Each structure stands twice: as C-alpha cells, then as structure tokens.
Homo-oligomer: A and B are copies of this chain.
Amino acid sequence: MIGQSTRDIPLKLGKFDLATSARWLEARMRHPVRRGAMSPREKALADRIKTLKREAGSHSPSAPTLIKLIPELRLRVDACFLSNPYATGLFLEYLQREVIRTGRLRKLLEFYPSQNRVIAGKLSRSIDIPADHLFIGNGAVEIIQAIMHRFTGHKILVNLPTFSPYHEFARADTQVVYNVVKKEDDFRFDPAAYVARVKREKPDTIVLINPNNPDGGYIPHATLVRMLEELRDVPNIILDESFIHFACEGDAYAFRSLGGETDRFPNLMVVKSMSKDFGVAGIRAGYAVMAPARVRELLENGYLWNSSGLAEYFFDLYSRPEFLAEYERKRVHYIRHSRRFFKALSAMPGLYAYPTSANFILVELRNGMVAEDLVCQLLVRRGIYTRTCDDKKGLEPGKFLRVASRTRSENRFVLRAFRDILR
C-alpha cells in the first residue's frame, strides 16, 4: 500500500520551496491511512529499520542514509533531524543568487578555502567577539573532539541524558563521571546540587549543554553566570550552545549566549554548531569561543584547512546584516509554530512530553507501546522519521522518543499521525 499510494508523488526533499511539499501533505491528511496490525511486508520493513538503527550505534542513521539503504521507504517528514528548515531555504536562496547563478561556485569548490584564522576574522564581525577567541570547526563535533583530546585530563563530568560524543570521545585515560538528571523532576537541572557534586568529585572538565539534548531543558543565563562564578577552579568548562537560538528568556524572542564571557571566565569554552539554527548540517560548520591561548594551542597542532569553501561562504553570509535580519524573521517564525506543535503534542493521550526550550521535544510513552514500534509505524506507514532514545544513556529503553519540529505543514502531518496511532 505504501509503495503504491506514494510512488506517484515526488519526494520533495530536494526542492527549494516548501509549498509543493505542504500541498502534498495537506492532501495526504484528507486520505484514510491503514491502521491496526502491520502486514508481513510492513513488518519486514520495520525489522530492517531496527537492524540499521542498532548498527548505527549511538547515532541514528541519517534520513538520506536510511532511504539509500531501504529504498522501499517513502520519507515524508524527517522529524529525527534537529534543524530549522526555513533557515535552510534562506541559505539556499542566497547560494543560488550569489554563487550558483554568478558562476562563483567553481571558485568555492576548486580552491583551498581560507585558513582557520581568516574565517575567524569574518565570524568576529557578526558575533562581536575578537577573532583570537574563535576556533572554527568542521562542525561542532570536531571541536568537541579537539577539546576532549587536548584539554580534558583525568576526569570529565557529563550530565545524563546527553549528546553522546561528550562521553564517547573521551580519551582512554579520561574517567567519565555522570550526573543524572531525573525524569521524575522533568529532567530539571539543579544548579546547587550540581555545584556541590563538582566540588566533591573534582573533575577537570565539566559539560553543560544549554538547552540540553535530548530533553530540551534550559538553564537560565543568570543561573549559569552564578554557577561559573562558583566554579572558577574547574580547569575546563564546556558550554554547548548549539540549540541556544531556539531558547528565549522573557517575553520577546531574544536568546542569551555566554560566548562573550570567556575573558571573565577563562576556563569557559562555548561550543556552537551552526547546523541546527541555520539548517546547514551538510556543510559542516561550527565554532567555539575560548581563551586566545587555547585557540593558539589548537591551531599550532593542525586544523589548517578544516572548513570547506561552502562553510566559508556561510560564515561570509553570517557576517552580513541583511542576511542576519532575514534569518531573524525565519528564526522567530520557526519558534512560534514549534511552540504550538509542542503544545499540541503534549496534550495527546498516552504520552508525556517534557518541557523543552529547544526545537525538539522528548516524549515518554505511557500507553504500554514500545518506542521502537511507534517509530517504525510512523516511518513505514506515514513516512515520518522520529528518533527512539533506546541508545541514550540515562533514559529507560523502550519508552522515549525525540520528535523534532519541522515546517508548519509537516508538524501538522506529524500531529495527525500521532493522533491516529495513539487513539
């Protein structure tokens, strides 16, 4: 049934505008969808998905990988993927207009991009932090690896649940200690208990992700500053702000980064992925703010040409006020309808959704359904890709899934599917 009813509808992943995709989804919502037990064919597909997921270890196979390996799947909504699709569209508009139509693309692909320091100079203009405090990474993940291999010593304290590279990339001689944030407290982070734990445990490196992945929990700016004051003796504090653009304090949509505070707190390293807020995971762009001596130490040991030509172009764009103004509108638009999506999802029967300040929501199944089965049903029957959290340390297996917010019409499609399956 899946193969038949969807074969005539082109996969819209590749299109620049989302309108056609939206129309298709709206039409799809009006049609009945098969319910009840899975057919043998659907079961076979589900088994292949489960196997792939297990082989991928602690990271879900990307949607393109999944489609390539199981071509029978018809992917409609990639709600596993944590990025703002409107920002992707904006980047593509600029790229089309300024690079592809003008013939500049050849230059970006043929020649060596600028070195780390040159790109740091561009970034410096847009975030108003001196270039010697900036280290440019081939995605944030390269920076996490660099910090953990070069600055972390005998012991690192990581909250659980967390983004897994923070424990996976630890060197063999680094002990990983976990601070478990409990679901009973809505995964709320307790600053006082945390500071006490750090003082007792004496790690040389601590990691805070704000908002946290995978639960979306947020530590307010003022709380973080107070904690940093109390933790001046910790040699390395990694603050991962990869989702900070989606977190707002107060009534307006402003977000508050601690990137400007590395002079006041020289032990602080702020890590920032550009994949999520700007929707450009495929170009691999990230940066970190840290004390100049740390940046120098990293650059003296490599990272010479670690940005691609497209990543450099992205950082060029990021330094331009007109791009930033347009991006700001996309960001607010996305946050607005993401909030509505999370609110509607939270109201569904049979699940509990944890409070989130990010662009995804952590959902716990409380109707006896197994998370992996729900993920497979959503994918096989509706083409919706969500993420089980069975591989996430600190989360009970079989119960949790993480759902990302996508475009408004995609979110509506996801809500409808949840409603159908859960009722």
Contacts and interface: CB of A to CB of B under 8 A. Distances in A.
A262 interface: no
A308 B95 CA distance: 16
Nearest to A55: B117
A107 B65 CA distance: 11
Interface in A286-302: 300-302
Contacts of A102: 14
Copy total for this chain: 2
B279 A308 contact: no
Nearest to A12: B103
Given A111-B81, A282-B110, A301-B169, A104 B14 contact: yes
A306 interface: yes
B111 A282 contact: yes
Contacts of A114: 62, 64-65
A83 interface: yes
A281 B92 contact: no
Contact of A111 (B62, B112, B142, B311): B62
B106 A13 contact: yes
Contact of A13 (B95, B107, B118, B279): B107
A201 to B, nearest CB: 24
Q: Which of A88, A111, A145, A279 has the most CB of B within 10 A?
A: A111
A15 interface: yes
A62 B310 CA distance: 15
Q: Which of A95, A139, A279 has the most CB of B within 10 A?
A: A139
Given A105-B14, A310-B308, A110 B83 contact: yes
Contacts of A14: 102-107
A40 B283 CA distance: 43
Given A107-B282, A141-B305, 20 more contacts: A13-B107, A62-B111, A62-B112, A88-B106, A88-B109, A88-B110, A92-B106, A110-B279, A110-B280, A112-B281, A112-B282, A138-B142, A138-B284, A138-B306, A139-B305, A145-B302, A149-B302, A169-B301, A171-B301, A282-B310
18 contacts: A14-B105, A62-B111, A62-B114, A65-B114, A78-B111, A88-B110, A107-B282, A111-B281, A139-B306, A141-B305, A145-B303, A149-B149, A149-B301, A168-B300, A169-B301, A169-B302, A282-B308, A310-B310
